Structure 1
Amino acid sequence: MTTKAREQQSFGENPVDVRETDHYTDEYVKGFVDKWDELIDWDSRAKSEGTFFIDKLRELGVKKVLDVAAGTGFHSVRLLEAGFEVVSADGSPQMLYKAFENARRRGHVLRTVQADWRWLNRDVHGEYDAIICLGNSFTHLFAEHDRRKALAEFYAMLKHDGVLMLDQRNYDGILDNGYDSKHQYYYCGDNVSVAPVHVDEGLARFRYQFPDESEYFLNMFPLRKDYTRKLMKDVGFQQIDTFGDFQQTYKDQDPDFYIHVASKAYQEED
């Protein structure tokens, strides 16, 4: 494949027919990855989410973290700077390269590994106090058996009292009421437009437009909140707390994003 080809996305003649888990590697082309930090804006995102993840992990006594959707390294670097031991994984080699360079410019050396969540134990070694899967990344899995397999792999890599932190867009709101975003969390870049161009129960196709008039697309599965929680319960997580835009109390239609904090620790019935 030529460099030019790697910089162009390809969805075929009918983009809304693309509903395959493995296609995400073709979506994160070099041109899109190079603009990813422009999209999320590290400083603005750090301000919007505050120390939510750092505080939760410290509260749970976490020391060793596996970031399974490292992207360009935002959360991996933040956790490193907060004193956690971090291993950074991603399915996209372009993202991992960018993450490593971002960390190096900030004086850190990331421990990176390219990994497919469905075979995480094959590609990544060790047990972890916590696994984080952030940035709406879990929605790249289109088949239910892929989602169950990935969650089972996360569960297996956690220590007996480990915790999984997984986030997602509020797809319930998008599916039931249409798209409306405060543009305050996650994608905080100025003059960057993010909006769906097609939504049904099996596909949310988002367009990302940048100030230089370039545009890219991601095809994602629109996970409903309670469905995600049920999958976590099914693979064995004992307690699941769900936050809306980092708040414990919220109205279901209000949050742009949900964050699920799922504990593996065994809980005896009353």
Structure 2
Amino acid sequence: MPFIEKQQFGEDPLKVRDTDHYVKEYASTLVEKWDQLISWDRRAESEGNFFVEKLKENGAKYVLDAATGTGFHSVQLIEAGFEVTSADGSPEMLAKAFENGKQRGHVLRTICADWRWLNRDVHGEYDAVICLGNSFTHLFNERDRRKTLAEYYAALKHDGVLIIDQRNYDAILDQDGYSSKHTFYYCGDQVAAEPDHVDEGLARFVYKFPDKSQYHLNMFPLRKNYLRQLMQEVGFQQIDTYSDFQETHKVDDQPDFFIHVAHKEYKD
């Protein structure tokens, strides 16, 4: 697949509600700026050992990072002692992840794979699959979401665990507004990430960088309980949901993100 230099949304960007389009959204110019948006050092500080601890609690050693992006979590987990396979549907992102890993003394095992046919390209069974960075919201129809969750389920060992996160779209949809502390995910200085348009079928975000450049991503606004229900219907037995890396949060203090830890193993 050739590298994409410029984002293209056509004449009416609000009509772009197609799962396959996300690959075109991660143009090489945006990928080069992506690390400015997330800020590796500040994100590592805000997350702490949350994912490392959850994986260790579940006895994980072999981890599939299904939404590698520019490699942040793959590198973090490798340095924590996990065996990591790094997959992504965007060749631009994977190339940047490999470069970032190399700069930190690691050779990432990268695979370009579409989640909906994950096990066609990614072989073996894993103790854990992680899909982080609000990536699951690139799936625009329920069939794709169910198929992807089924692929994750199949890639896991009998007692494996899926960790998947999402933006708090409930607050955006229900409160008719948007606020973000930018404490946990998009930590870059002087980089803005905010919705340009939101309805029940589309959350179009604009990302503004210090050099005045702007990029957009079209995503599906997943509701928390809807995603939990999908995971249960696919077969996950127990799902623990955290709010900004906490098990609970104040009612009047809406979290920016939810993190779901879904267990394949039945627990009494």
The normalised TM-score by structure 1 is: 0.97
| SS, match of residue 86 in structure 1 | strand
Instruction: Give the Cα–Cα distance (whole angstroms) in 1 for the partners of residues 2 and 16 of structure 2.
Output: 23
The secondary structure found in structure 1 opposite 2:178 is coil
Q: Could you tell me which of 35, 48, 51 is aligned with 2:49?
A: 51
Aligned residues: 266
Question: Which one-letter code corresponds to 2:261 in the other structure?
Answer: V
Name the CA distance, whole Å, in 2 between partners of 1:257 and 1:167. 7
Tell me what 2:259 maps to.
259
Q: 1:180 to 1:59 in 2, by over 3 A?
A: same
> Which of 23, 43, 48 in structure 1 is aligned with 2:21?
23
Q: Structure 1, residues 178-236: CA drift from partner, whole Å, max 9, x if none?
A: 11100111100000011001000000000000000111000000000000000000000
Which portions of structure 1, spanning 4 or more consecutive aligned residues, are displaced by more than 4 angstroms?
none
Pairwise CA RMSD: 1.2
Structure 2 runs not aligned, ≥5 long = none
Provide Cα deviations, 1:118-175, integer angstroms capped at 9, x if missing partner: 0000010000000000000000000100000000000001000000000000000000
Letter in 2 for 1:258: F
2:244 counterpart of 1:245: yes
User: Hey, what does 1:143 align to over in structure 2?
Assistant: 141
Q: Distance in 1 between matches of 2:142 and 2:84?
A: 29
- Letter of the 1:145 partner, please give it: R
Q: Percent identity?
A: 70
Partner residue of 2:206?
Answer: 207
Return the letter of the residue paired with 1:255: P
Q: Please list the CA deviations of residues 5-29 of structure 1 after superposition, one character each: whole Å capped at 9, or x if unmatched.
A: x321111111100000000011000
* Corresponding residue for residue 223 of structure 2: 224
Q: Distance in 1 between matches of 2:153 and 2:250?
A: 29
| Aligned counterparts of 2:79 and 2:267: Cα–Cα separation in 1 | 33
Deviation at 1:2, TM superposition (A): 8.6
Name the TM-score, length of structure 2 as normaliser: 0.97
User: 2:223 & 2:266 partners in 1: Cα distance?
Assistant: 26
Q: Where does residue 166 of structure 2 map in the other structure?
A: 168
- Match of 1:156, SS state, is helix
